[in-house]
Amino acid sequence: MDENLITQYRYFLKDSIRKKIDFSQTDQNRDIDIPPVEKPYRADALRIDLVKPGAWKNFAGADIITAIGNRESRRAYTQEPLTLEEISFLLWATQGVRGEVVSGHAYRTVPSAGCRHAFETYLVVLNGKGLDPGVYRYLPLTHQLLFEFSEERLAGKLVDAVFRQPYPGNAAATFIWTAIPYRMEWRYHLAAHKVIAIDAGHICQNLYLACEAIGAGTCAIAAYDQEALDRLLRIDGKDEFAVYLSPVGKVRG
């Protein structure tokens, strides 16, 4: 292995960059407007109301000890669809907002450096009860699902975008998290990117545990074709790009 390259890439995992940044010159400290906590959408876009926290009645749940003890990556799924109630719960568990947005900060069910929450959640639905197949986006501020678009050969294109790993094509839905880096850069400048990666882990672990509560399984994927996945989501790949994904499906008990 090239030792210089190894040293260069390991540097990303360290926090040495923080000592080289003049934080007085971040956009936050220069009084530039705080970026929005949610990506905008058209006023006439189709939005689907999700089942609100506290109103979930049709699954038993699991205590935290059981959920942690049973957590594992699951790649084999049944043909049973995910219900809107189950999807509502999984979205809330991974990016739900707790309470009101205060001074541009949305406190959520997962931690994020500086409460910046640089992620958007896209949902590729292949088998959702009452939902047409297509690409959706979670709107955490209103707890709604935004219909983005339908796509021919959606399952096949998703599998192609993960280098032919087959299980997303057999899942009921795949969670895809994109980063909008400026939300974090606004506060942390060049120290933003490591903590964005750390935050992705918080989100996906919550998905694993939430899946255990509804008799579902998931398996995180970090190996994908960047350009193909960004094209599939119809995002620019510069100011927003995919960073992580995890298919979800019901599993045999």
pLDDT digits (tens, 9 = 90+) for 26-77: 999 999 999 999 999 999 999 999 999 989 888 778 899 999 999 999 999 9
Domains located in the chain, CATH noted: 3-250 (3.40.109.10)
pLDDT digits (tens, 9 = 90+) for 143-180: 999 999 999 999 999 999 999 999 999 999 999 999 99
DSSP labels for 76-95? Answer: ---SPPBPHHHHHHHHHHHH
- Three-state helix/strand/coil letters over 108-169: ECCCCHHHCCCEEEEEEECCECCECCEEEEEECCCCEEEEEECCCCHHHHHHHHCCCCCHHH
Residues 6+ apart with CB under 8 A from 29: 23
